[in-house]
Structure 1
Amino acid sequence: MATMLHRQSSESAGLTSLAAWALLSVCLSLCGCRSRPAPPPPPQEPPQRPQAGRLMTEVRYAKGFSVEAGDGFTRVRVTRPWRGAQTSFEYLLIPRDGEPPAEVGEAHVMRVPVQSVVAMSTTHLPHLEMLDCLDRLVGVNDISHVYSPEVIELHRQGTVVSVGREGTVDLEQLAATEPELVFDVALGQADADNYRTMLDGGFSVAVNGEWTEDTPLARAEWIKFTALFLGRVAEAERVFDAIAAEYERLAKLTAEVTARPLVFAGNEFQGTWYVPGGASYLAQFFHDAGARYVWDDDSSTGSITIDFEAVLERAREADDWFLHSGGFADLGGLAAADERYGLLKAVREQRVYCNDAQLSPAGRNAYFESGIMHPEQVLADLIHILHPELLPEHQLTWYRRIPPATEANR
């Protein structure tokens, strides 16, 4: 009995010893896994700034700016910032890792591509949208003037702020956005221009003179000017080349037309009529759309002011009237504004058009913000109106035909 108990005790001890060794082995194994150093994480790449890319481009239509290659920099000159300007602006664009030349004179030196911008004119916003650079927009002059739903949403989120109101600028609000560059527009009037105030305040400013150009394609080509500062030249060329090709294709459709409708444009404001001059960009639109403009013999590139009697003398028998403001719901509202409009053939035959086909809920007109960058669409609208047989399937984008008077407005 004792021998049996001793044997059982020895076996139990042996089993216990084996279990202990097994447990120890597991523990050592687990401890070994814990103590083995984990592999280091892969090195994190530092965030990359957008590169300047190509800083040269050919200017084909615009007359108000030029681009010249230098040794490690690009020289951009704005020679016509406003009509009749005796002042020009020169910018030396240097890649962020480059060095400016020893002599820069009065040129403004700017490191590109810039990372944050303020757009003082709503016409600069389509450039940022079409170049996929809205993420660099930090401010606009006055959000209440903006049509773009994307920019309005950025303002709602707090990403974009207003830095002024009604064409003025608040330097404190501007400074809070910390912009690397402000895109501005100037009129050559000290009491209306902000660029000098901003320059004196230490801000970098690029003056855009697109509004001085006399042809639709020349105005649209200023997207290349914006792109030079943003490092998006190749993108701007692709965008503009497509616009120019389509515009020129459409213009060829009317090159041989013999029946050219007589048209006029403009409207009355506080007793004075403002009409596009015969050498203006709107006159070019009419010519390319296959029309005769009643002021074709005028050499003005901007607007001219006349009285209604002068309008009546030239435009009484014009076939079509193109309004560029007014907001008339129907022809009854137009007649209520001035009953003499009924003397015009275009009104009697209900061929009055307005460029307010796209209005925001707040009443902002997309034409004045984005139409400048879509001259091919504007031209297509005009050709469809004047020569519907050439573009029978086209749907109006920017213009609408003002409908007949409703009962309430008769």
Structure 2
Amino acid sequence: MRKHGAVTTLVLFACIGILFVSMDVGALRCMAGEDPPVEGALPVPSQEKVGLRYACGFTVEHQDTFKKIQVLSPWRDARVSFTYILVERGKRGPSVPPDSMVVEIPLQRVALVSTTQVPFFAMLGLESSIAGIARGRFVNSPPVAERIRQGLIQEIGVGDSGMVRNLNMERLFALQPDAVIVYGINDPEYHLQPKLAEAGFPVIVEASYMEPTPLGRAEWIKFVAAFFNRESYADRIFEDIARRYEFLAEQTRERVIHRPAVFHGMAHRNVWFMPGGESYAARLYADAGGDYIWKDDSSRGNMPLSMESVVERARDADYWVDVGPCGSLAELKGSDERYGLFRAFRQGNVYNNDAKIGPGGGNDYWETGVARPDLVLADLVSIFHPSILPSHERIWYRKLPDQGVMRP
């Protein structure tokens, strides 16, 4: 009986491995942008209704002659929302209140201010609709990066590092995009929506980063798709990602007996910004079979903690993940000797999400990884519970070596 149970377990784990390896051949090429569908080859009814399962930051309502999209939480503690009325080109739209914006769809030319918005366009086969982008050198998506190299996508950012605070308005005026897609942020220095709107550009605020769950963030592909009449296609892509994520999370939950203790990040000027227990990162670690040390906290954002408090609570944790710019254990300890107090450090169980850095220095974890939480989850499961995915080749996570900065 015991032998039969062991065989069943091995077969199950083999099936899980096949699920996350076989998709790399065909589905990943299409879904992650390596071999996207030809534009125009996917006739999608513009009014096809597609529901939301995980995303809570936006809503979509389908009326007879238009779609209504509301962005509910554009940034943390926001007291405003944004409403878009999507009307088919050449058709008369409804009367709208002054706080709503009418958008003619499908959009044909857009400008993006964040590389995290790129994978949805690649997955939907909409690369040619991108006319401009800020920080284009950081883009990793092959078809989009190639169009940037060919000059088909123009650089609209000013400056080359940090968050985008200014755009090349002259170039934007020359590009004449149908819309500029920005992220919302509660900081006048970086909040681009008012500046662009004042200049006369139609502005769409995308707030996927506010989602507290990995699948909720990935489901914003449907937000992008609505502006291009590709909801049905987006739904198929998302459901496949969700199915893979849910399956692996369920199998991990059922099979794992011991959950290793996990903590996240590193200190900056003696302040450690630790993700709350209801955050995006906390959900990933839990679904991957980890015991996130701050899981009992109820916040979705980051908590500012002292180095001393983190050492006291995480000293004996099994794993330490996402250590920012550090490329090795020596580099990590060199930035602060107290990091050597953590057992995860002493045992070499420190992992960073920088295994896939593009030629321009962009970290693909914050590009493709955001849109493919199923693959991020597989990376983490293979770290916390390697027996579940013994053949998985990690995409974004790598174990920090003792010496040297060994980024690919």
Deviations 1:190-235 (A, max 9, x none): 2211111111111111100101110000000001000000121111
Please state how far the C-alpha of 1:52 moved relative to its aligned partner: 7.1
Q: Distance in 2 between matches of 1:208 and 1:102?
A: 24
Please state how far the C-alpha of 1:49 moved relative to its aligned partner: 12
What residue is the counterpart of 1:271 in the other structure? 270
> Which of the residues 98, 103, 108 maps onto 1:110?
103
Q: Distance in 2 between matches of 1:136 and 1:129?
A: 10
Q: Distance in 2 between matches of 1:49 and 1:130?
A: 14
Please state how far the C-alpha of 1:146 moved relative to its aligned partner: 2.5
What residue is the counterpart of 1:259 in the other structure? 258
Alpha carbons of structure 1 residues 366 and 51: separation in structure 2 relative to 1, 3 Å: same
What residue is the counterpart of 1:299 in the other structure? 298
Structure possessing the higher relative contact order (Cα contacts under 8 Å, 6 or more residues apart): 2
Deviations 1:132-156 (A, max 9, x none): 0001110001223333343332222
Q: Distance in 1 between matches of 2:258 and 2:56?
A: 32
Check if 1:169 corresponds to 2:167.
Answer: yes
Check if 1:185 corresponds to 2:179.
Answer: no
Check if 1:53 corresponds to 2:52.
Answer: no
Q: Distance in 2 between matches of 1:100 and 1:324?
A: 50
Please state how far the C-alpha of 1:304 moved relative to its aligned partner: 1.4
Could you tell me whether the CA contact under 8 Å between 1:327 and 1:356 is conserved in 2?
A: no
What residue is the counterpart of 1:68 in the other structure? 61
C-alpha RMSD over aligned residues? 1.9
Deviations 1:252-291 (A, max 9, x none): 1122322000000011223321221111010000110111
Q: Output the amino acid matched with 1:339.
A: E
Q: Output the amino acid matched with 1:320.
A: Y
Ranges in structure 1 where 5+ consecutive residues have no aligned partner: 1-47
What residue is the counterpart of 2:312 in the other structure? 313
Please state how far the C-alpha of 1:405 moved relative to its aligned partner: 3.1
What residue is the counterpart of 1:218 in the other structure? 216
The ranges of structure 1 where at least 4 consecutive aligned residues each deviate by more than 2 angstroms after the TM superposition are: 48-56, 102-106, 144-153
Instruction: Give secondary structure in 1 for the equivalent of 2:111.
Output: strand
Q: Output the amino acid matched with 1:75.
A: K
What residue is the counterpart of 2:280 in the other structure? 281
Ranges in structure 2 where 5+ consecutive residues have no aligned partner: 1-39
What residue is the counterpart of 2:382 in the other structure? 384
Check if 1:98 corresponds to 2:91.
Answer: yes
- Percent identity reads 40
What residue is the counterpart of 1:369 in the other structure? 367
Q: Distance in 2 between matches of 1:199 and 1:222?
A: 23
Deviations 1:234-263 (A, max 9, x none): 111111010000000000112232200000
Q: Distance in 2 between matches of 1:327 and 1:358?
A: 14
What residue is the counterpart of 2:18 in the other structure? none
Alpha carbons of structure 1 residues 68 and 375: separation in structure 2 relative to 1, 3 Å: same
Instruction: Give secondary structure in 2 for the equivalent of 1:255.
Output: helix
TM-score, normalisation: structure 2:
0.84
Instruction: Give secondary structure in 2 for the equivalent of 1:238.
Output: helix
Instruction: Give secondary structure in 2 for the equivalent of 1:243.
Output: helix
> Which of the residues 65, 72, 77 maps onto 1:79?
72
Deviations 1:85-111 (A, max 9, x none): 110010111111321013444211111
What residue is the counterpart of 1:393 in the other structure? 391
Check if 1:230 corresponds to 2:223.
Answer: no
Check if 1:126 corresponds to 2:98.
Answer: no
Whichever of the two has the greater Rg, that structure is: 1
Alpha carbons of structure 1 residues 163 and 57: separation in structure 2 relative to 1, 3 Å: same
What residue is the counterpart of 1:24 in the other structure? none
Deviations 1:369-393 (A, max 9, x none): 1211010001011111111111111
What residue is the counterpart of 1:135 in the other structure? 128
